Amino acid sequence: MNREEARKRAIELVSKMTVDEKASQLKFDSPAIERLGVPAYNWWNEALHGVARAGTATMFPQAIGIAAAFDKELMKEVGEVIATEGRAKYNEQSKRGDRDIYKGLTFWSPNVNIFRDPRWGRGHETYGEDPFLTGSLAVPFIKGMQGNGEYMKAAACAKHFAVHSGPEGERHFFDARTTKKDLEETYLPAFETCVKDGKVEAVMGAYNRTNGEPCCANEPLMNGYLRGKWGFEGHYVSDCWAVRDFHENHKVTKTPEESVKLALETGCDVNCGCTYQKVMSAYEKGMIDEETITRSCVRLFTTRFLLGLFDKTEYDDIPYSKVECKEHLDVAHRAAAESIVLLKNDGILPLKKENIKTIGVVGPNADSRGALIGNYYGTSSQYITVLEGIREVIGDSARIYYSEGCHLWKDNVSNLSDQSFPDRQSEVQTVADYSDVLIVVLGLDERLEGEEGDESNQFASGDKLSLELPESQRKLLKTALECGKPTIVINMSGSAMNLTEADEKANAVIQAWYPGALGGRDVADILFGKVSPSGKLPVTFYSSTDDLPDFKDYSMKNRTYRFFKGTPLYPFGYGLTYGKCAVTSMDVETVALDGEFDGAKVTVTVKNEGSAATEDVVQIYIKDEEYELAIPNPCLCGYERVSLESGEEKSVVIVLDRRAFTSVDEEGNRELFSKKFKVYAGTSQPDKRSESLTGVACLEKEIEI
């Protein structure tokens, strides 16, 4: 069913409703209208990395981990799995009359906010710090979820529009101030891509204000960009209880009715929260007219008709047996394997089972389920922690010694009266003494980085106070590294941490993110060489927040790899493999359309000169050589995951669209301001730190268009 037909049916149905009935449908928990055959529908469902909060489902790595795979095809498969399992659940629940929260087909994912600062607690819900990478991964995820059948399989939602990335503790009253240049250059491109290329069905507004106006009633954003320049035709949803913030926290209105008027008239169609319970009160007071209510109601029913919720569809027979089936679990395993980033390796990895008789595994995340799941997660029927994964891979070939070592964050030394978390430093030393190799598993979980309001948040309303590991873990790491045994450090977090000590003293360092319910097995497969690591960092790892601007400053100066002037600990786009892949040749050919420059075609040869088969990611970057206001550092503009046997070489073609060559002026105008550019190709970004870590430089070519 196309949108035109769905909209006509929506107009016809809504025309039969009373004003009160229309108003009732603008709440996230829309009640049934029995006289018209309209069942109840709850708009609130989640699917950040698998169907969430709705019982059993396939759980993928957290979004930041999937982003580290740099794999567009994988993103589409993840979206398809989510839609299939969502439909299977919907079919069973709806036939039993269960239409409660988390039971619908409107999934409030993906989160395409830019992870501009590593302190932001919700950054692990995103696809990282780069607008191009974020948009290019979000589009196949959306297309996989929404499908290409006669009806929409499930409805995706790009959130949180816009200029939203902390601080969590102030989000209900915070005003994110940004320039027109930063808007167009950083904060809006991923949303534009989701709308224009992904045809995303919904957009969710953020809690904060942007340049003085609340994001769920922001005229320039919602009607200037979204429904204006970009031509968005879907529905707009508020973040949960964000409209209430208008009068309670932002103070841009004085009453709930005034907030209803502002949100509805600006174009916020459905309210997650309580304020739209006052729609009829605002109507009866003459503050809003019926036409405004009708407009939003029609948009919402257009989506419901597109989903086929009033028809027989090709998805009605998807059985419950599809939930967490082997085929879907295989995709989750692949996602976890591709997401893991090898940051350092002096040759100790991969471990050889035949050379190891005893293995020490220590650290609070070694046997933690919490470190597998991130936030916005579903329930798995099985969990495999890193310790369990190592045990599965090793079998009876070696003895494993284990110590939790310390609590995840509580300092068990400073308070000797606290007997809940006794000091285990001596146990770590004992484990090390008895082990041939020591694996230290540290990091965070959703209690230490997450969303404001989550009951489990321990500090800073979900944001991080610094990039340092908790003191208890720093003590553990120091103890482990001083034991003198070959040591591998595995960090499980959703954001950049200061891993300087591990980088300097450990034999290998791995960033495992939150790898999903079964992700511990995938970590173990990489440790022992069943799989070669191939993930790349979608964010910059800094050594300290001292290198960064104030967290509340939304200017992009000295933020992310595109603007950072310092030397990162680990750069964006960086990640090692067990092979030795390098781009050995590059050709750039400009492309014209109707006689006008329309982009370029980059053809590279990539070769694995190592002894191990691996996947790697070819990355293309571009830098404007003339325009004084161009982004100062080379920017990612294309990438392709490639599989290479030992000694194998392949030709890879990556097409760069015209937009890759544009820049943005101070007024937010994006245009082609230059003729001279430098194009780079490699398996990392073209910076000195990446070259020093990998030992391989990017190829570069100057072009004139």
Q: Which residues are catalytic?
A: 239, 449
How many whole angstroms separate alpha carbon 534 and alpha carbon 69?
7
Contacts of 542 (CB under 8 A, 6+ apart): 118, 467, 496, 498, 548, 566, 568, 569
How many whole angstroms separate alpha carbon 234 and alpha carbon 223?
13
What are 660's two structure tokens? Answer: 């890759």
Single out the residue of 522, 494, 529 nearest to residue 508, CA to CA: 529
CB atoms within 10 A of CB 128: 26
How many whole angstroms separate alpha carbon 23 and alpha carbon 30?
9
8 Å CB contact between 20 and 284: no
- Secondary structure (H, E, C), 619-684: EEEEEECCCCCCCCCCEEEEEEEEEECCCCEEEEEEEEEHHHHCEECCCCCEECCCCEEEEEEECC
Sheet of 235-237, strand order:
157-161, 202-205, 235-237
Contacts of 593 (CB under 8 A, 6+ apart): none
8 Å CB contact between 93 and 417: no
8 Å CB contact between 618 and 606: yes
8 Å CB contact between 610 and 579: yes
CA separation (Å) from 345 to 159, 349, 395? Answer: 37, 6, 25
Half-sphere exposure of 91 (CA within 13 A, CB side): 19
How many whole angstroms separate alpha carbon 515 and alpha carbon 521?
10
Partnered with residue 681 across adjacent β-strands are 620, 699
What are 598's two structure tokens? Answer: 């329309």
- Does residue 167 have a cis peptide bond before it, meaning omega lies within 30 degrees of 0? yes
As separate numbers, helices (DSSP H) first and strands (DSSP E) second, the chain gives 21, 23
8 Å CB contact between 511 and 340: yes
How many whole angstroms separate alpha carbon 208 and alpha carbon 175?
6
How many whole angstroms separate alpha carbon 102 and alpha carbon 419?
40
Single out the residue of 671, 602, 571 nearest to residue 130, CA to CA: 571
CA 34, distance to chain mean position in Å, is 39
Helix (H, G, I), strand (E, B), or coil: what is residue 591? strand
- Does residue 118 have a cis peptide bond before it, meaning omega lies within 30 degrees of 0? no
CA 368, 374, 376, 382 torsion-angle sign? negative
Largest CA distance in the chain: 80
8 Å CB contact between 614 and 579: yes
How many whole angstroms separate alpha carbon 377 and alpha carbon 46?
8
One-character DSSP codes across 418-466: -TTS---HHHHHHHHHT-SEEEEEEE--TTTS--TT-TT--SGGGS-S-
